[in-house]
Amino acid sequence: MEHSLMVEPDELEGMAGRDVFGRVIVELGGEREEIVVLGADTMESARCHLFGERFPQRIFNFGIAEQNMVSAAAGFAIAGKIPVVAAYGFLLSLRCAEQVRSDLCYPNLNVKLVTSATGFSMGTGGPTHHCLEDVAVFRSFANMTVVAPASNKETVTALRACIVEHDGPVYVRLRRNPSPEIYDGDPPPFRIGRAVVLREGSDAALIASGEPVYLALRAARELVGEGIGVRVINMPTIKPLDGEAVRAAAVETGGIVTVEEHSLIGGLGEAVCSAVCETAPGCRVLRTGIPDTFCEIGPPADLWERYGLNVEYLKGAVRRVLQKQG
């Protein structure tokens, strides 16, 4: 099913992921009265207050009690509601891991977990607030779908697909800060489990999820000047992964570089490696992301530079993959 943008494109420019969520959830709430929103003192920070102003009887603040909130969401789902839980990613994936696994995923309940504080979004909060393990945790839970939109336009269509069109637990990974737009016009229809080829190329492939997709695009454009044609694949659904898109990239290019704002352990890169091993074992894969360490404290942009989330590093990774192929 195709999804149209529910807000005007010029309104999306410069908005943070949480602001997009705040707008979209109000519109979805107007369409579906079953939607309820649950927060843990995150009404303002997650922009849930906009929903509360419109639907005051359908929003619930649990205070600093995230585990109770997730278990309560299970009850709402059993009662026929569509609970949307808005909380910080490091709390949902770490503090609430047992409740998400046992209360939501085990019975396969229709609960949506949405966070706007992932990756280095809260970089100045330090390692306790960095959200770099969430994909690894939730990928391991049966029945869980993991989605990481790459831009504001894709966030709009992804939220509709995840909240009102998909039945089952979903984790939507948004960022707290404004993200560059990767689509000139309307984005293609959002389909859970489907990748989007943003740029063709036959020498190597860059596969990215979330905001780093725009880095992959920039790197690919600059590599053209070196005579290197790079395919760029936006992988907004990390689980289930689009294995066919990975297989095609592996077979047709022979070298893949993955990029993610997440630990190199358990994230997109490992998912891609698994798919390559199963379908195209001759392909070389180089993973870029956050190394196995607790990271420094600092603004998100500075941390991106510090840990290799930049265009020059990606260009170097592509060159290294090509050298290995030779």
pLDDT values of the chain reduced to their tens digit, one per residue, 326 residues: 344 445 666 678 888 889 999 999 999 999 999 999 999 998 988 899 999 999 999 999 999 999 999 999 999 999 999 999 999 999 999 999 999 999 999 999 999 999 989 999 999 999 999 999 999 999 999 999 999 999 999 999 999 999 999 999 999 999 888 889 999 989 999 999 999 999 999 999 999 999 999 999 999 999 999 999 999 999 999 999 999 999 999 999 999 999 999 999 999 999 999 999 999 998 999 999 999 999 999 999 999 999 999 999 999 999 999 997 65
pLDDT at 25: 96
Residue type, 123: G
Delimit the domains of the chain by residue range. 9-173, 196-325
pLDDT at 8: 67
Q: What whole-number distance in Å separates Cα of residue 122 and Cα of residue 126?
A: 8
pLDDT at 116: 87
One fold for 9-173 and 196-325: yes
Residue identified by tokens 């990239």 is 249
Q: Does domain 9-173 have CATH number 3.40.50.970?
A: yes
Q: Is 91 within 8 Å of 104 (Cβ atoms)?
A: no
Q: What whole-number distance in Å separates Cα of residue 45 and Cα of residue 24?
A: 15
The sign of the CA dihedral 275, 307, 213, 227 is negative
Q: What whole-number distance in Å separates Cα of residue 21 and Cα of residue 165?
A: 16
What b/e sequence results for 192-212 when a residue is b if at least 16 CB atoms lie within 10 Å of its CB, and e otherwise? Answer: beebbebbebebbbbbbbbbb
- Give the CATH number of domain 196-325; options: 3.40.630.30, 3.40.50.1110, 3.40.50.11540, 3.40.50.920: 3.40.50.920
DSSP assignment, residue 322? H
Angle at 275 between CA 306 and CA 236, to 5 degrees: 55
pLDDT at 16: 87
Assigned token pair, 65: 């009690």
Angle at 180 between CA 226 and CA 200, to 5 degrees: 40
